[in-house]
Structure 1
Amino acid sequence: MIVIEREVTVAADTARVFDYLADFRTTQEWDPGTVRTTLVSGDGGVGTTYHNTSRFNGRETELTYVVEECVRPDRIVLRGENRTIVARDTMTFSSESHLTRVTYRAEFRLKGLVSLAEPFLRRSFDRLGEEAEEGLRNALGRLAA
């Protein structure tokens, strides 16, 4: 399993930050790997389904994400899957004074023969995490403005 975890602290209201990230379609704004995310069904709560197209290592891949947990304003968990990967994205939120801290954890489990390439892909996943952290920091900074 490959795990990426990043923290971003922003001077914005926790509920506002939560609502922004709970709409997984916003990945188009802050996740540089995302080409597009569309809502398939649901209202954003548990069971909501999204179709995500991402670019990774020069290739486009499509995943179906389902919201597994949505506890406002504390935690969001989504599970994405296709034939070669299972991804679990967990976002937790905490507030202190006028600041909101978002901890973003992404876990990737490669399936089948692709799993043999895991050691060679770690660096690419780390780079993806760095780019997502920067994108998240920029997007949440706009919420604070």
Structure 2
Amino acid sequence: MATQQFDITSPLAPDAAFDRLINLTRVNEWDRGVTNPRQIYGSGHEVGSRYEVTVVGFDGKPAPVVYELLEVDRPARFVMEGTNAVFCAHDVITIEPTDTGCTVTYSAGLELLEEDPPLSPAQLDSLFVKVAEVAEDGLRSYLNM
């Protein structure tokens, strides 16, 4: 499994940052690798809510991914898992208050599911660093608007 973690400081209060981040229908506003986000199950942002997004697959073609909220502890933390036939992504977002807003910690893991995966572990690690950098840059802007 490839993993990445980063911290972002934001002037937003923890509640405001949490509300912006847990609304996965807006993920395309901070991750340019994601398009067409939509909620497909549940109402609001509760455990069990599911969202479908489109990402660019390892083959360069659009691929659907379904994300499910596994844990929700407003405004401190939520956990989501995204799956399709090729991979499983596991993301944990924690939000801690600071004197001037909050710090968001994003921990992400990506595991290939196929018996004969399209990438070696080293290739996956290298690719995931780039994917995480895109998300980090987008989140930094999104949480500091």
Is this contact kept in 2: 1:45–1:67, CA < 8 A? yes
Of the three residues 126, 131, 137, the one matched with 1:128 is 131
The total of aligned residue pairs comes to 142
Code of the residue aligned with 2:66 in structure 1: it is T
Please list the CA deviations of residues 16-55 of structure 1 after superposition, one character each: whole Å capped at 9, or x if unmatched: 0001101111211001211221100212110001001112
Of the three residues 64, 68, 74, the one matched with 1:66 is 68
Identical-residue share of aligned pairs (%): 29
Q: TM-score, normalised by structure 1?
A: 0.92
Task: Report the equivalent of 1:94.
Answer: 96
After TM superposition, where is structure 1 displaced by more than 6 Å over at least 4 residues in a row? none
RMSD: 1.4
Code of the residue aligned with 2:125 in structure 1: it is R
Code of the residue aligned with 1:67 in structure 2: it is L
Flag the structure with higher helix content: 1
Q: TM-score, normalised by structure 2?
A: 0.92
User: SS at the partner of 1:107?
Assistant: strand
Of the three residues 109, 116, 121, the one matched with 1:118 is 121
